[in-house]
A and B are shown apart, each in its own frame.
Chain A
Amino acid sequence: MFGGFLQDLRYGARMLLKSPTYTAIAIAALALSIGANTAVFSAVNTLLLRPLPLKDLDRLVFSVALREGFDPFGSSLLEFEAYRQRNHSFESIGVAMQRSFNLIGRGEPERIRGALIMADYLTTLGVNPILGRSLTLEEDQPGGPAVAMMGYGLWQKHFGGDTRVIGEKLNLEGRSYTVIGVMPPGFDLPEAAEIWLPLQTKIDSLPLTDRAVPGYEVVAKLRPGVSLRQADAESKSIARQLEQEFPQVRRGWGVKLIWLRQELLGDLAGRVNKALVALIGGVGFLLLICCANVANLQLARGFARTRELALRRALGASRSRLIRQLLTESMLLALLGGAAGLVLAHWIVPLLAAINPIQGISLAGFFHNFRIDSRVLAFALLVTLATGVIFGLLPALKGAGEREVMPSLKQGDQHSASAPGHGWLNVLIVSEIAIAMTLLVAGGLIARSFNRLQHVDLGFKSDNLLTVKMILPASKYSEYRQRIAFVDQVLERVKILPGVLSAGTTTNIPLEREIAYDSVFSVEGRPPVNPNDVPITSHRLVSPDYLKTLGVTLIKGRLIDETDRAGKPPVVVISEELAREAWPGEDPLGKRIKRVRPNQDFLWMTVVGVVKDVKEDLFNYRINRPVWYVPYAQLENNFPVNLVVRTSSDPARVIAAVREAIHAVDPDQPVSNVMTMNENLAGVLVTERFSAILMNALGASGLLLAALGLYGVMAYSVSQRTAEIGVRVALGAQRIHVLQLILSQGAKLTLLGVVIGVAAAWALTRLLGGLLFEVNATDPATFLSISLLLVSIALIACFLPARRALSVDPVIALRAE
């Protein structure tokens, strides 16, 4: 038995070597599709499957707050507290709030990402310090001790991994904290934190508005046996209770539980998941095309081998013996293709990692490390074997079953394109074209959608802008006029730097991945249009000249300028969307609007200008959210100060000078996230870019394979029809007639494939719905242009065999036996 196998193997190898062109084409096609499958799976593996340094990851969930018409928000303490008291689905629950700190006294002042956490946060995640200890409940009380836990990287950087770090002091924002623990390497939740301080808040004693701020990250561990769905249902009912209990802050809010892993991908809306599913579908389709392609090659070659196989049958080989022989050959081919595919994947994987689709910044060491591990290898092997069976089975059955006896030379040999088995070639090639069509349409739609997203009007001019982040320590800038003075002095110095056109400050850089400040607003003389609505606007406090620097488009009125100072009448510049929501159909200029927070009274602000909508909010990129710009000097706040500088040429050139100018005002002031606006924007559409690039790469590969397959079938057909073509030429066919003959055969197959492909794409692209932006899943322009593309490529693929048909020597009509 085993000897028979070795014999099959040897014979199979010899057969493959005997037709090297066929073997090379088949291996190339297999390598392409197995390589693509492996590479995409390595992304899926990294993003969705591989273990993370968190315990019981498959039970960890994340709660997001929802508002009709918005992408998801973080959670509020109100929700956290309600979950803690009322929820039965959770085994434990924790909360954290992202916060950055200025680390002082250890070299250059440095901005460090960190978090305020409750003790439960770490226990819920199942993370223990590798050195020292965790927070205790006692420490996590208002007025508790100033203690901190630090990340492994920070420990290595500032203490060289010295274990005596426990008990050392860290100066954060001018306050001294005692280090109590060091976290394991790689752990940096939430939001790439490197330092953790106790939240030290008694939730019940906080004002309701503070409790309602959706700026927290709530993680929970499900009880064993509780599904995400059950937990989600329970959380939703709790959210409804909250809505009834606190309508003034909860109206219109709901919640949703998602897996923590999904949150870590920065994917609150579930787009990464959808994109990956679409891509898995895509590579699966590519694999099918490849199988059809290789099966076709095998079949075509099988006809050429008919005599050999018939002879083997005549010599007594059983049908199953022949099937085994042919399958062995297919497997050998598949394994060779699989090996080549692994090599290819080895190349592609780093490219995929380079266009990593995730916006999450935590656990970067895990999520950005796309690689071929044992799981990916196992997948590749599985795909390879499955491929071998799929593409090998049909030719094996046909090869072993057809023409039981030696084909006797039939009297009056027919010149015919429809010899037995050719039907299968046509079926396979039509399927290839149809699948390629589906893939290309999916790719086309996603690319179109990506293009739309890329060309969304940002509302500002992103070229030649430099952005710099600064947090003014509360200890040093305790009085608001000190903050204003700092801003004024920095701007004064920066504006006169060579190469700088203008400069301004804002509390949030547009589309940055940070906590973005919002505000509830109220319109003078008007109750909210919808009683269930708590109207919210993006809330930006800006210096004079900021709007000019950003390059917004003024629709009417004026921008904020030097006259809008403390003590002057309060003014505000609003976006079109805010104008629409606050004063539908009316002129907003001169009307008044104000910020609303319970227990706090704000002044009415007069609208002095309306600007075109600005994309301020990263997570609501796809919609136009209302935004207002309030003069920094007129509304006291302790938000970060972000410097935005417009330059005459490459903004990178002024970085050093800008740093110098800031340090001239305050040598201790940390400066972070110095980057151009365009660098900042590059992070916005990563998921979309990833799926656009990949889906189109898959589509192109599918097209290539289908074209190759069509070429192969047509070339085979031409070789089979040589005698017929000779007769036709002998009878006086002109070149055009011969071309027509071949091209129309190819065109028929192509058109059939395109028609089926259009129908399939029509049915399947609906599934892409959630991934598309301003593009319909049945966008006629995409369907049409892809059909044309496919037909043109197909005609080119047919043209080469057709040209070969032209060179047929009609003398063969006389000489054919």
Chain B
Amino acid sequence: MNDNNPSPVIVTTTLGKSVITSDQQSLTILSEINMNIQAGESVAIVGASGSGKSTLLGLLAGLDSATSGSVELLGHKLEPLDEDARAQLRLGRVGFVYQAFNLMENLNALENVMLPLELDRTVTEIDQRALDALCEVGLEHRLNHKPGQLSGGEQQRVALARAFVTQPEILFADEPTGNLDAATGREIIERLFSLQQQYRTTLVMVTHDDQLAARCDRQLHLAEGRFLEQIAGQQ
């Protein structure tokens, strides 16, 4: 993987986000973000807490809309799209892994993994595919357990299975090890990278763990809503 890949999956130009705070003041969270992420690339967004990493990730994934500049995701400009259209764009092509797992508390592991498949009417063999995904993360024996009955590491593995079950083109991860102990965190990261390699998924990962960031192709340093510099990762 390298910078010469001809097909960028994410392109931003002078992307910015500002919000109106409760005391009627305008607060700029992000500004002048220009970036270009190629298919199959893995990019780490690093920075101090509160620097705007999550906000940026949300804009890239179309979970939120920008207040200036533009985002192009999978060849589509997001600005003209409404929420439904952005959701349609994500369906089956974009996966998420969060710091807080964000599983449906009331569905069991299998049902959680089946959910993204069920939302897509064209998908078949939902059960089998969800089962396979859970086997890949080593949870075939916990199919009927609800998130509340699983450890943090296991919950994050279910989240990984849910993210990869649709074989997405892009995976967004927001501090995926933030709620886990070091050993479990390492295990999750190993699984994440191995799945990413296997499915040639583009990875955009927010982290403040330098070691973890170093495993990505590129690192983008965010400070006070701007990129400090763009450092090339290990080649």
Does B bind A? no
User: A residues within 8 Å of B by Cβ?
Assistant: none
User: B residues within 8 Å of A by Cβ?
Assistant: none
